[in-house]
Each structure stands twice: as C-alpha cells, then as structure tokens.
Structure 1
Amino acid sequence: MNDRHDLRPEPSLEEVIQCVRDSSGDRKTAIDEHTRLEKDLGITGDDGSEPIEEAELRFGVSLFDEEGNAFGLKENEYLFTAEGLASAGLSTGYAAFPGRLSPT
C-alpha cells in the first residue's frame, strides 16, 4: 500500500548531509547543497554506491527504476566515474528524495 500516510516525511538538507557524512566517513569537509560528491568529496566509482544505498535505507526511497537504472541514466552513462571526473553534486542526491528525484 502506498498512500500518503505510508510516506516518510521529506528529509531536510541537514539529514541528507548527515547521511553523506555517515556513508563517506568525511567529518571535516564543509558540505552544503552545492557540494559535488566527486569533485569536492572524492566519492568515485564503486564508493558512490555507498551514499546511494545509505540514502535508500535511511529515507525509505528507491533511487532505481524497475530496470535497475538510477536517475534515468541510459546505457553507458554513469553517475560516478572511476577517477572522479563527473559533476554529480549533493544537490543531485538531495533532489532524489520524494518529490525531488531528478538529475542536474
């Protein structure tokens, strides 16, 4: 059942930042809605799955569609690069929660 009463409240930016801190282990870097996961926090490659999985568990959302694609990425498109060259930002992840799922 998926009616309004079953939905969790939308997380605050502070909750999303704490989720990123917990999953990345980064306690020192200043993080705000403009922070880029790869460029600013160094989250790349497979390490990028950790904040996504943590967000899904913590906030009760799924960031993947029925086919297993996140953020509407197409074949050979990736959210994170192996060397940290993409521009996925915290605002991308923050936009992923109820009513806000959309890539930047």
Structure 2
Amino acid sequence: MFRKDRFGTDVRSKFEEIVQELEDIYGRGKRFEHLKAGPRWHERRDWVMSITQNERMHRYEWSVAHGSKLKDAIKYIELRVQGIGEDVSFIALEYDFENRDKCLAEKAQNLASTL
C-alpha cells in the first residue's frame, strides 16, 4: 500500500522497478497508460484519485502477442496500479495460466460437491 501519495510518485516508482524485474525474466511487454477524455480528476495532485475513479489506466502486460517470452504455461501477466481513495494506492500483479479454465471448472465442481 502506498499512503499519502496523491501524486502517485511512490507507487509509480515501485511499479517501474517491478516492470524492470519482470522484463528481465519475460522480455518486453506492452505499456498501457491512458487518461479518459474530459476527466474530473485531471490535475497532477489527482493522479491516484483518477486511478481510483477509473479515469486513468496505468498497467503493463506481458503476452506472446506482445513479444514476451513466457514460460511455465503462463498465458499472460498483468501489472497494474489500483487506487483506494484520493491518496492510497497499491500494485496488483496477476498471472494467467493456460489451464485456467480447467482450474475454474475443477473449483466449481469441488464447491458444488460440498453443498
């Protein structure tokens, strides 16, 4: 968690460190940075709030389609900044594997058998 960071300085710095670490392992990915047209939260001091309100996107994705060198049955990797309020944010890292659908079906079956 990054607290009292409404400008997003600390969270973005750590984000870039993690991007570099993942690029060292999986190669280049693709950066997605976007601020929606006509946002309410557009000032520099509103960086985290614009993330919280889904007016801004700050993420990086690795996949074969982006030229990444994935291994261990990884389908894609997503790193993103998410916000909680005007000055609190965190970094989420998500891995998706080729056997995801099979795992979800097995989970659903296990849940159904416990009822």
Higher helix share: 2
Higher relative contact order, chain-length normalized (CA < 8 Å, sep 6+): 1
TM-score computed with the length of structure 2 as normaliser: 0.29
Higher strand share: 2
TM-score computed with the length of structure 1 as normaliser: 0.31
The higher radius of gyration belongs to: 2
